[in-house]
Structure 1
Amino acid sequence: MVRRLMMDVCRVLLAAVALFGFRSNLVNSKEWWANGNYYQIYPRSFQDSDGDGIGDLNGVTQKLQYLKEIGFTGVWLSPIFKSPMVDFGYDISDFYAIHPEYGTMEDFKALVARAKQVGIRIILDFVPNHTSDECEWFVKSVNREPGYEDFYVWSNGTVDANGNRQPPSNWLSAFRYSAWQWNDKRQQYYLHQFSIQQADLNYRNPLVVSKMKEVMRYWLDTGISGFRIDALPFMFEKEPYANGSYPDEPVIDNVSVCPDPDDECHLKHIYTQDQPESIEMVYQWRELVEQYRKEKGGESIVLLTEAYTSLDNLMLYYGDGQRNGSMVPFNFYFMRNLKNDSTAPQIVDYIQQWMTHMPTGVQANWVLGNHDNSRYSTRLGVQRADLFTIMLQTLPGNAVTYNGEELAMTDGKVSWKHTVDPQGCNANRFNYESYSRDPCRTPYQWDATKNSGFSSAAHTWLPVASNYRTNNALAQLRAPKSHLQLFMKLIRLRQMRSLQDGALKIKAIGNDIIIYSREAAGDDMFVIVLNLGGNEQSLNINQYFDMGSKAEVITSSMQSGYHDGVIIDPSKYVAEPYVGVVLVKL
């Protein structure tokens, strides 16, 4: 099956190369990570090489050439470290070991070596906020071993009027219920902002900071190219009162939005999230990777950061004007605001807000999905999946793709019986679908064979989505026109100078049409037209961007009637429903 896939990839790429016969030149960026295409692999669901129903490292290695031919710059792997798998790898028990279900250290080294051969950079998921309660560090902290007494956030709690022990504050876990758990052996509460088994590290302890920097250096020595850093807003909490208790967080103003007092959305997280020290720590990690490069040589090391926070805070993750931070602070401002009913003016405003708020000397980034959110084909409408893919790949800067988005994969159906995500399991059979992240984590759809070619097992860890026989990579590579072929053309197109360095000029026309140009001096002008609505609209593109009397269709949404290479009159353009089109001025 891999051989068949590669032959079809090559055929499509040759067609794509022939397509771009205009005068634009390919650009080699000064830094490998700039204007890049980053691919998130959820290893558990990507490719199972040993038939146990769970994806693994050797499965990823098998698919690296395929990903390179599509055109990805770097691949970041969701956590692969040793873990009890309560939160599927985000509860790490040993930061220096590979989880046995995924393989061995030798398998990981083979993956890195193969990635270097094909020219793809490997980026690891770094989870600094917490560890598993099975981690050696936590066991030592429970036992108050010297140096580990304050390795985690511990508190005696409080006593109520009836003499009953109570948690030190009303803080809530992201997975519901109290963020404090009593430990009988230590006779104190510990903080866990996620599952009970994920104990929060105490970053006000210099030993914690030092230990986690050692972890980063260890994995850099294996030859990886950077880190995606998890859950940054949670790293620091408000310091305790003198008596060891903590301040309560206030209830949200409009309780009707989130009436459940056990749900974390019920509180304003003014003491448990977005403390300024969290951003300072990112600056320290940037200094670490730059110092590492200075000592060891080689190319730059990239930092991608995850933070669901305000636009102003996201900008601070880039740097503060004096110190540098993340190269790619994920643009969740865009992802969280973009809804199925968002209008063209709203979307244009979200884009412009990011572009105008960025510090000088950094690059924008665009992301619409990951392992924690419903797939954008489901969330924004499968009929508009190509439209949003075109948007992501033609805006300035870096693009981030969650595995399966290039196929327009949709959320799978996961029953209550098969639900394994702790966020879903902490709910109930009647509302679990509002919380569970399992539907966006179903196995990758490679072909129409058993288990979509993901695994030969009798059962996979999550059920394969039911539409895999018609929506899979092999079928899309062989089809005359498909989501994947469009994706590959767009990545090729992104190498052109106008789309690397050209200015963005963007407008909304009415509620449904977004139109923008990308043009570098002395190079081709590209114009992108996106129709969010269900009705076709006629427009004169020359009223907005001077394309003259002729323009060529470079590529368009799969259902579009505009075929690649067709010459059109920009003054008489018809924007089809739910269709995106990339044009070049002739």
Structure 2
Amino acid sequence: MNMRTKDFTTPAACTNLEWWRSAVIYQIYPRSFADSDGDGIGDLPGITAKLPYLGRLGIDAIWLSPFYLSPQADAGYDVADYRVVDPLFGTLDDFDRMLEQAHALGMRVIVDLVPNHTSDEHAWFQAALQSPPGSAERARYLFRDGKGAHGNLPPNNWQSVFGGNAWSRAPGDSQWYLHLFDRRQPDLNWDHPDVRSEFEDVLKFWLDRGVDGFRVDVAHGLVKAPGLPDWAGQAAMVEGTEGGDDNPGPMWDQEDVHEIYRSWRRLLDSYPGERMMVAEAWIAPQARLTRYIRPDEMQQAFNFDYLLTHWDAAEIKAVVDSSLAASAAVGAPTTWVMSNHDSVRHTSRYGLSKPGARPKGIAADGEQPDEALGLRRARAAAFLTLALPGSAYIYQGEELGLPEHTTLEAHYRQDPAFFRTNGEEIGRDGCRVPLPWLADAPSFGFGPSEKSWLPQPENFARYAVDRQEGVYGSTLELYRQLLQLRHDYKLGNGQLRWQSGDSSDVLSFDNGTLCTVINLGMRPVTLPPGRLLLSSEQRDASGRLPGNAAAWLALR
């Protein structure tokens, strides 16, 4: 039986109804945020120590990537116990203190839930390996006999998202088990009642502790088509099915997944304080994605169409319009996200020859972004993103203008996608490098020692917090001003109205009494009437907005 360990009261700053409709949510990747003990890995006490920094930034909630007990085969997305904090990150008491402090500062806390698969070290999977085919223990996962005369061929032709076959066998085992990701991440069988009841109990465990919501990993992948039929396609993270095929395949976006989320929603609604869920689902078209955010399912779904949009005015406008229309059709808010722990940072993507393109990692022998141009465009993009109605997500370090580590040597890499594709896919390590807090300190102030689980590039020094704090025009101070103005003008709860302009490279829209202008071209443009509140770059001598820049103006 789960018991609440502490009586956490929701702070007054967090009591507004349906807070998630307009919230700015900051993603923390725990191992890379702040290290309290000098072992080179970020932890929960490190997060707690930096909460005042996040409070000054002006965010409404934090989302923590997994911190559960795990062998860390996929940086914690291979969970061995969903109710235990991994000693790498601290203890359950450390989590409680962090949660209490966040609430005291007016911030809500969202935790990651990984329901599609467990670690191969989870007690259930270990019991399955020790049990015979057809056993109750194996029924919780997707074990199948192989094809061929001796069962030596995989049960079907499915491919892992991380590359290679999606089926593996334990040494000496006669059966194969499904893993849509790494071989150490066996997929659960969501047709099994034990699986459904276990995860409802996991939800209760964290809700009873006081968490405010869940980010649901691979939300579209839990249910597989009956019979596990062959499918020749290949799914990719964030983009969904490669090649733009709207057929997601028999392992994704199956109809029965929605009943799971309806049952979870009923559970969350039984708790006070507007607890919420946000889906990570790589689905096209948007009409399919919005099925996850109908009134009786989740409250939010990540808008990956927006993340994948190139630096092009017409393309951005089309995605914004389609996103707002699709979410409005089900009465849900739209989310806006430019970067996360699975994508090359947008500051670097905007500096590529095809700005905004999403490579699967960048290595030293690949195209190197124009760092200054990428940052300039990223600052302008923040004006656009934070002016749009709905909820916005900030990936840690985005507020610093932090670029991707694009020259990380291969022997440091840890992403399983890098190894499963024999280096063909560079992987996600470059966006996960620990944050710089102090320019002149060991590990740039990430921790009290020189240790850092991934090496930080030298250029991180100029992005360190202490180099930007209180510095007029720095990216950090720009984000603080943007977030304050977003709150003052209630932009998250507003309504967008496009304005016509003379240039196809310029987007201009009103949200309430605030006007946003973003110049995606290279030539300066004249700003419309209004009182200038803030701009990403200084205007030229004629008062015009330069290229790759943005501004907010008060209309009255």
Shorter-chain TM band? 0.7 to 0.9
Is the 8 Å Cα contact of residues 552 and 584 (structure 1) preserved in structure 2?
yes
Matches within 5 A, 1:275-424: 275-291=254-270, 293=271, 298-310=272-284, 311-319=286-294, 323-336=295-308, 338-339=309-310, 342-358=311-327, 359-380=329-350, 381-412=374-405, 413-424=407-418
Matches within 5 A, 1:443-454: 443-448=434-439, 449-454=441-446
Once superposed, what is the RMSD of the aligned Cα atoms? 2.4
Q: Gapped runs of 5+ residues in structure 2?
A: 1-12, 351-373
CA distance in 2, matches of 1:494, 1:208: 42
Matches within 5 A, 1:565-580: 574-580=544-550
Is the 8 Å Cα contact of residues 40 and 78 (structure 1) preserved in structure 2?
yes
Is the 8 Å Cα contact of residues 157 and 232 (structure 2) preserved in structure 1?
no
CA shift in 2, pair 1:150/1:71, >3 Å:
same
CA shift in 2, pair 1:28/1:416, >3 Å:
same
Q: CA offsets, 1:487-545, max 9 Å, x none?
A: 111111112345243320125744310100011xxxxx211110011221346x3xxxx
Aligned to 2:519: 531
CA distance in 2, matches of 1:29, 1:84: 39
Asked if residue 50 in structure 1 is aligned to residue 37 in structure 2, the reply is: yes
SS at match of 1:355: helix
1:218 to 205, 226, 230: 205
Q: CA offsets, 1:102-134, max 9 Å, x none?
A: 111111111112112222111110000000111
Aligned to 1:170: 157
CA shift in 2, pair 1:502/1:212, >3 Å:
closer
Is the 8 Å Cα contact of residues 531 and 577 (structure 1) preserved in structure 2?
yes
Cα deviation, residue 426, structure 1:
2.2
2:232 to 233, 250, 254: 250
SS at match of 1:494: helix
Is the 8 Å Cα contact of residues 153 and 191 (structure 1) preserved in structure 2?
yes
Aligned to 2:138: 149
Query: Which letter maps to 1:274?
Result: D
Asked if residue 516 in structure 1 is aligned to residue 505 in structure 2, the reply is: no
Higher gyration radius (CA): 1
SS at match of 2:410: coil
TM-score, normalised to structure 1, is 0.82
Cα deviation, residue 463, structure 1:
0.8
CA distance in 2, matches of 1:498, 1:93: 42
CA distance in 1, matches of 2:489, 2:553: 15
SS at match of 2:544: strand
CA distance in 2, matches of 1:178, 1:344: 40
Aligned to 1:438: 429
Q: CA offsets, 1:351-373, max 9 Å, x none?
A: 00011112353222111110000
CA shift in 2, pair 1:349/1:28, >3 Å:
farther
Cα deviation, residue 238, structure 1:
1.3
More deviation, 479-488/268-277 = 268-277
Is the 8 Å Cα contact of residues 470 and 477 (structure 2) preserved in structure 1?
no
CA shift in 2, pair 1:103/1:536, >3 Å:
same
SS at match of 1:530: strand
CA distance in 2, matches of 1:251, 1:125: 28
Is the 8 Å Cα contact of residues 444 and 464 (structure 2) preserved in structure 1?
yes
Cα deviation, residue 560, structure 1:
2.2
Q: CA offsets, 1:46-102, max 9 Å, x none?
A: 000000000000000001111012111111110000000000100011111111111
CA shift in 2, pair 1:495/1:458, >3 Å:
closer
Is the 8 Å Cα contact of residues 396 and 500 (structure 1) preserved in structure 2?
yes
CA shift in 2, pair 1:308/1:388, >3 Å:
same
CA distance in 1, matches of 2:153, 2:554: 66
SS at match of 2:168: strand
Is the 8 Å Cα contact of residues 128 and 230 (structure 1) preserved in structure 2?
yes
Is the 8 Å Cα contact of residues 150 and 202 (structure 1) preserved in structure 2?
yes
CA shift in 2, pair 1:578/1:513, >3 Å:
same
CA shift in 2, pair 1:360/1:354, >3 Å:
same
Q: Gapped runs of 5+ residues in structure 1?
A: 1-25, 241-245, 520-524, 542-546, 564-571
CA distance in 2, matches of 1:422, 1:493: 41
Identity level (%)? 32
1:504 to 496, 502, 508: 496
CA shift in 2, pair 1:301/1:116, >3 Å:
same
CA distance in 1, matches of 2:390, 2:229: 41
CA distance in 1, matches of 2:220, 2:505: 35
4+ runs deviating over 4 angstroms: 26-29, 263-269
CA distance in 2, matches of 1:237, 1:573: 58
Aligned to 2:20: 33
Cα deviation, residue 208, structure 1:
0.6
CA shift in 2, pair 1:248/1:397, >3 Å:
same
CA distance in 1, matches of 2:15, 2:532: 25
Report how many aligned residue pairs link the two structures. Answer: 509
Aligned to 1:485: 477
Is the 8 Å Cα contact of residues 115 and 222 (structure 2) preserved in structure 1?
yes
CA shift in 2, pair 1:281/1:475, >3 Å:
same
Query: Which letter maps to 1:469?
Result: A
SS at match of 1:69: helix
Cα deviation, residue 454, structure 1:
0.2
CA shift in 2, pair 1:508/1:514, >3 Å:
farther
CA shift in 2, pair 1:101/1:169, >3 Å:
same
CA distance in 1, matches of 2:162, 2:175: 21
Is the 8 Å Cα contact of residues 348 and 508 (structure 1) preserved in structure 2?
no
Aligned to 1:99: 86
CA distance in 2, matches of 1:372, 1:348: 24
CA distance in 1, matches of 2:138, 2:224: 18
CA shift in 2, pair 1:192/1:530, >3 Å:
same
Cα deviation, residue 143, structure 1:
2.9
